[in-house]
Structure 1
């Protein structure tokens, strides 16, 4: 058996089922002057005049269920909902027109950035053509080092010597974890 709802449904006369006792009651209410009306119990089987339904025979009930809504024309269907056209630009101020143009440009930019390239080769071509002048592309090809194309094989600075020692220590630990212990690393571990 399921539990009754927390907020019970009331009939037109105000009768509801008490969730704690499962009895039919008229719940307590507040009068306009602020005093409280007591909860009233309803005898089992009693139906007030407000709750009595109009008698409908089975055929009448079936006809009511199958009837069309009031004002409906047989064979007529409502037209499909068309997309709402954007507001006409004739009624816009200069600032609103300018904002519309900005929105359209932003939308076009977003569409361009989200466009998926057909292949990786297209990506390389776009970078070489669009990222800068031809001189910077030639420098990258010739091997000159620029901020865009740094030389990672340069000898470490004096500042970075401590870091390289730390890196060697980490590499040794990694070798131990991997289990690929060489003779040199074995000797280092023994010391």
Structure 2
């Protein structure tokens, strides 16, 4: 039994296909935008339209094209060997996945450094009189409260206590809209 031609044959650049019933080269019928149908056009044997003409390549040029390296390939370069033991998954990471992994690592390192490089070290105990003002979290330390009892001095700056509350109240009274 001879093999049957495909139902939807491949078309050339010019739209020429092989008719499955007659095995002739034809431009199949098509539908116009207004809904009417174009007739099927037979192509003379041996005719090749301009769209289907290939660029001439000599034998040496054809051999060079066949043996050509992929675009961007560097002669003599071989990719480094990959070890399956280093990666827990079977698939290697893509370029963007590697970049994102490096970003995550840097972000985690910055978090660790921010905690480790706190400018107020708990190990350094200040003078006995100011020890009660330094207890607590850094957020509590920086909160401006005048009820902590500590005073402002060059050795122990407390900017919340340094503000003159009388002048601040006067300024607020001026801003009050009546």
TM-score, normalising length: structure 1: 0.41
Instruction: Determine which structure has the larger helix proportion and give its number.
Output: 1
TM-score, normalising length: structure 2: 0.44
